[in-house]
Structure 1
Amino acid sequence: MRLNVIAPSTFAALRVIMLAVGAVPAQRMRGMLMASGITPVASFVTLGEVEVYLSNGPVDVIVCQICPESDAGLMLLSVLNRMHKNGKLEQLPSLFWMGETSMIAATCPGDVNYGSRLPATVQTAGIECMGGVAMTALDSLARLAKAAGIHVEILHREGAMVLNDALRAALLIRTKLDSGPAQADFELLTEEELISALTTGEGLRFVFQPQFDLLSRRVVGAEALIRWKHHRLGDIPPSIMIPLVNRLGLDLLLFSLVEMWAVRVMLALKRENFGIPIAVNASAKTLCTPKFAERLAARMHGVGLPARLLKLELTEDVPEPDELLLSAALTAIRAKGFQVSLDDFGVGAATMNLLVNVSFDEMKIDGSFVRALGECSSSGKVISGLVNWARLLKFNLVAEGIEDESTIPLLYRLGCRVGQGYALAHPMEFDDFMMFMRKQK
């Protein structure tokens, strides 16, 4: 049972506007918000009005009506995304979708008798809709929006508790934005500072996040990651650091640093009689470096470690335009005994093409699918399909971004056996990771 521990008056600081067609829906929205201690600062009917308002100041939440008469609530996502990319909207607001819910019988276009031929259970269940839009379609759209950085809540049930839960999420997002460094602050980073950090190691930390068998909770692997704490700006997110590394052409240097620490961990694990693989992220550009496989194999052989203990995770930070070169490079790497994993499956346009044309040992399901599992029915279907696909292609599957304990049994029931995420274990520095592994015994 979830208890709402935030008093309604706490939400009064949120800047909320409404987008609704018609006086009655707008009045109902306003009444629900005011019951939670919020007085909307403005109400609009068209997208154009909302865009003008957003250009003049920040907004925390936009409550939108989903209805057959207007697609404004849906198309607002595109407006927010465009304004954010163009620099006209620094802070993306949370989006709440509200509307009349109903059940519509499943039908087939052009066949009026289709519904009558369905099993009785299907005819009774029908398709759940909000404002005439199938809930599964709204779920999918909301997931895409979240991947673009837009937080979407679908309020398909009325009530103070449902609204307050959504407001709580919006309030936490605003608090996080207010407490952390602004994006503009990170733009103060200089190329010289990054080069200095990578060459001297100042401010760099190397951490290891375990991967678990979801049933036994036994550690079956780990991922090596880098963290950078800037002397002025604090912790630099990987989303800021990695693109800067790639732009400066320092991706091979970054890989070498992380790989060096991965080898240190593997040697320490070997002394403790552990033989789990350690994964290191690498861009296509890095993996296609001439004689990359030979040099990597020589380093592993030189320290007495089998190549199978080092796993290379292909990221899509820097896509390789020459697919033939990438395929040849990965084949050479696998021929040396290294495992190759496709990272963040589901977020890149080239991902599907890569799986068809390039051989992998493993695929990692992007965390956006995993995090949406409890709230988006289509995510479960996607993950189930990926499990079946992995079986057909005979490669391993890892779910990343598991942040909720309740997600773990859901993933296991869908057929996903291995995962990583904060619900299982946070990334740990060398000594902490080794202590954690000793406790595993």
Structure 2
Amino acid sequence: MNLNAAAPNEFSMLRVITLVTDAQGIYRLTSALCDMGVTPLANVESLSAIQSLLCELPVDVIFCEIRPECCDGLMLPSLLKKLLEAGTLEQLPCIFWTGKTTLNAPIRIVDGGRTISRKTPASQLWIKYLGGITIGALESHARLARAAGVFVEILHEGATQDLGDALRTVLLTRAQPDAKLQMRTFDSLAEDEVINALTTGEGLRFMFQPQFELLSRRVVGAEALVRWNHPRFGEIPPSVLIPLVNRLGLDLLLFSLVEMWTLRVMLALKRENIQIPIAVNASAKTICTPDFADRLAARMQQAQLPSRLLKIELTEDVPEPDELCLSASLTAIRAKGFKVSLDDFGTGAATLHLLANLSFDEMKIDGAFVRGVEQHSSSRKVIEGIVNWAGLLDLNLVAEGIEDESTIPLLHRLGCRVGQGYALARPMELDVFLDFVVQREKNQ
């Protein structure tokens, strides 16, 4: 294993290695990288060699050529995850899978012999492969890796522009502080600070993200969100804050704070003769609090607001162990006139099991599928299936995490009528949100 000197160019600060097992593959991949001005630090031929190398020096990107004869590239995300959990790595390298792209017809069995289907390449029966493995299978595996915190990108051989864009993305990511290391430090210090923030409101911001009818861009709802600006660590993401709140048993207190600010927004909109439903996130544990539905109804009645304007969004946290209790609580909430939504459908605990056994009015498509809808055929198929399932169950559907304007018409063609995300509007402070909704209403 020989280490090389990185070329002085746009990507010179990136530490790149390759995982290729045959001479021709090494030549192809090295040539493609050299065309971009990148000289790999090393080529390795096995997972054990990668593990040894990662113990010696930090690496930003690992390029793997996908081949049916060698599964090391497919196993690499699992190895990196284990190394991170063991404390061997402080920063995960990005993984780029590459390989030859082919379009093959399915094989049929005729009289005991193998024959090729005579469908034309335009037929939907033709299957796209990368390195001998179906693109659909690779996309599914890459999505699971990303969900586990390992960034994986699929790059088609010869796609120079995609390669350059991917390397620039890594450059921008690596230019930021090590967020995961900061969060580990934060998690060990923050319990008293979280308690103080929730009891005093210090550093908390309550935001509202509009939901739109995709075709007309009319505002048809919103989601209430909370942000915490820590004096040392800056803005703490919900993925860190919410588990900490739940662990401390402060989930009901946080829900009550968000609910209070949501009622303020509803009353302000009411003065403008505007009524749109606003969703507030709640864990299964919060929803199963005794008399939860009665308390909600009393608060809405006191504010002289109809229950239908407050939507309870069941988050994808680990569900209440007593599913019977959760079912009773959700039914009681709906009986009071509140709408109930299933958040992040497709990930975590938001499964077909929950949807089949519990009562909901709406489900939200997880942003991981929405963000991949243009690039990945598997994401489009999943969304089409969710749209059909929602129709069968008579559920409203919201696509969340829409980050690219170009995905909006595609989502609409797939059957999504309502959505939210940065491409439509970012979360807004209370006053900004009110002005935004009022102005949109006047311009309709």
Residue in 2 aligned with 1:164? 164
**Cα deviation code 1:155-195 (max 9, x no counterpart):** 11314323112211222222234589733342353211110
Q: Does 1:282 align with 2:282?
A: yes
Deviation at 1:201, TM superposition (A): 0.4
SS in 1 for 2:286: helix
TM-score by length of 1: 0.94
SS state at 2:95 partner: strand
**Aligned twin of 1:316:** 316
Q: Name 1:133's counterpart in structure 2.
A: 133
The 5 A counterparts of 1:308-347 are 308-347=308-347
Structure 2 partner of 1:4:
none
Residues 299 and 63 of structure 1: is their aligned pair in 2 closer, same or farther, counting only changes over 3 Å? same
Classify the secondary structure of the residue corresponding to 2:107.
coil
1:224 aligned partner: 224
Q: Are the structure 2 counterparts of residues 203 and 123 from structure 1 closer, same or farther at C-alpha, using a change threshold of 3 Å?
A: closer
Is 106-115 or 71-80 further displaced after alignment?
106-115
Q: What amino acid does structure 1 have at the position aligned with 2:63?
A: V
Q: How far does residue 374 in structure 1 lie from its aligned partner after superposition? A: 1.2
Does structure 2 retain, via aligned residues, the 8 Å contact 1:215–1:417?
A: yes
Code of the residue aligned with 1:399 in structure 2: it is A
Report if the CA contact (8 A) 2:101-2:130 is conserved: yes
Regions of 4+ moved over 3 Å: 108-125, 176-181
Cα separation, partners in 2 of 1:87 and 1:121, compared to 1, 3 Å: same
8 A contact 2:204–2:227 mirrored in 1: yes
Q: Partner of 1:365 in structure 2?
A: 365
Bigger shift: residues 200-209 or 45-54: 45-54
Q: Name the Cα RMSD after superposition.
A: 2.1
Q: Whole-Å Cα distance in 1 between the matches of residues 156 and 283 of structure 2?
A: 41
Distance 1:109 1:406 in 2: 42
* Residue 394 (structure 1) shift: 0.3
Q: Residue in 2 aligned with 1:241?
A: 241
Map of 1:79 onto structure 2: 79
Deviation string, structure 1 residues 356-394 (Cα, Å, up to 9, x no partner): 100100000000000111111100010011001000000
Q: Partner residue of 2:251?
A: 251
Taking structure 1 as reference, are residues 362 and 26 closer, same or farther at Cα in structure 2, changes over 3 Å only? same
Q: Contact 2:100–2:157 (CA<8 Å) still a contact in 1?
A: no
What does the per-residue CA deviation read over 1:127-181, in whole Å, with 9 as the maximum and x for residues that have no partner? 1111110111111111222222222221113143231122112222222345897
* Aligned partner of residue 12 in structure 2, secondary structure: helix
- What is the aligned partner in structure 2 of residue 393 from structure 1? 393
State the alpha-carbon separation in 1 of the partners of residues 121 and 13 from structure 2.
46
- Unaligned 5+ segments in structure 1 are 1-6
Distance 1:111 1:216 in 2: 56
Residue number in structure 2 paired with 1:351: 351
| 8 Å CA contact 1:206, 1:429 repeated in 2 | yes
- Shifted more, 86-95 versus 411-420: the winner is 86-95
In the TM superposition, what is the alpha-carbon distance from 1:353 to its structure 2 partner? 0.8
What's the secondary structure of 1:9's corresponding residue?
A: coil
User: CA distance change for structure 1 residues 324 and 161 in 2, over 3 Å: closer, same or farther?
Assistant: same
Matching residue of 2:4: none
Amino acid at match of 1:225: L
SS, match of residue 91 in structure 2: coil
Aligned-residue offset at 1:105: 1.4
Alpha-carbon separation, structure 1, partners of 2:155 and 2:75: 18
Query: Equivalent residue for 1:18?
Result: 18
Deviations 1:193-240 (A, max 9, x none): 110000000000000000000000000000000000011211111111
Contact 1:62 1:93 survives alignment (8 Å): yes
TM-aligned CA distance change 1:113 to 1:377, over 3 Å: farther
- Percent identity, please: 62
Cross-structure match for 1:89: 89
SS in 2 for 1:102: strand
Partner of 2:39: 39
Aligned 1:155-194 pairs, distance under 5 A: 155-177=155-177, 182-194=182-194
Aligned positions, number = 435
Report the Cα distance in structure 2 between the residues aligned to 1:180 and 1:382, rounded to whole angstroms.
30
Specify the alignment match of 2:3 in structure 1. Answer: none
State which drifts further: 149-158 or 431-440: 149-158
Q: Is the 8 A contact 1:185 1:233 kept in 2?
A: no
